[in-house]
Amino acid sequence: MTGIYGQQPEHDCLFAACDSAYFIDHAIPLIYSANAVNNNIHIHIVNPSPVVVALTKIIDEDCCNIITTFSFHDADIDQFTDEQRRVYYSTMRFVFAPWVMQNNISILIIDTDCYMNKKFLFDNHLWADVGIYFRDSLPGTVGWEKEGTRVAAGIVYYKKTSTVFAQEVANFILKNQLAWFIDQVALWRTFDAWQDKLEIFSFNEKDMDWSFNKGSMIWTGKGSLKHTNKKYINRKNQHLLKFDGWRDRFWGNVACQ
């Protein structure tokens, strides 16, 4: 993997990827939610703006409960359609996962537009190599879409022993066209090939949900719910409030509470 700059994480961490606009809109509250539950987090940013690069340094100083790390790469996406661009951004977390794991760490891959309600305990999952959210295919789907909807890509666990699995997922995405469900199909087909060779477990609605139920570890925003669901919006605003005072905390060198 070439063209990456920034930091490479050295500790087990949450991992998400996005562009600059999505970083400002969603990754900032996500990072503060990770700080609230004491989960280290790594964010990879495609085509970072100078403002976003400056914000990462401020957030790193601000979120002193955890280790925050950031990496970047520049990509020419002008030739992509709008749909291809969205797919590209959404799949980069799986493409760059093997690179993120190079320091012999385990990662939990999550959506950039999700929030942590509880800490993910890496030590509780040492017995497994991979964790995937399995589900029934969506009713009425066929072919590629039926295959892809057998898993949800919003939460995926890679133990440091699963680098070959992670690389196969990445390779599948890189070798195929940018189409919806490509990350989910990649996960499903790699699982199908490796299910007898690795210890793989299934996440469930207590680990991640998009109905924003009390008690689930992760709330993830799906489609228009990111803009219409009051529970989701209120949680986002709660974490953004922690960011609002960064100037006083950063320049005044006020200790993190």
pLDDT tens for 230-247 read 999 999 999 988 887 665
Residue by residue, DSSP assigns 127-153 as: T-SEEEEE-PPPTT--HHHHHHTTEEE
Q: In this predicted structure, what is the pLDDT of residue 247?
A: 59
State pLDDT tens for residues 79-138. Answer: 999 999 999 999 999 999 999 999 999 999 999 999 999 999 999 999 999 999 999 888
Choose the weakest-confidence range: 47-51, 62-66, 140-144, 153-157: 140-144
Percent of the chain with pLDDT over 70: 94
Residue 253: is its pLDDT beyond 50? Answer: no
Is 5-248 a CATH 3.90.550.10 domain? yes
Choose the weakest-confidence range: 10-19, 149-158, 234-243: 234-243
Residue 249: is its pLDDT beyond 60? Answer: no
Q: In this predicted structure, what is the pLDDT of residue 248?
A: 62
Contacts of 108 by beta carbon, 8 Å cutoff, 6+ apart: 13, 14, 15, 39, 120, 122, 155, 156, 157
State pLDDT tens for residues 197-217. Answer: 999 999 999 999 999 999 999
Q: Phi-psi bin for 131: left (phi > 0), alpha (psi -120 to 50), beta?
A: beta
pTM of the model: 0.94
Average pLDDT over every residue of 180-188:
96
Place of tokens 């749909």: 83
Number of neighbours of residue 223 by Cβ within 10 angstroms: 8
Q: In this predicted structure, what is the pLDDT of residue 245?
A: 67
User: What are 129's two structure tokens?
Assistant: 């190599």
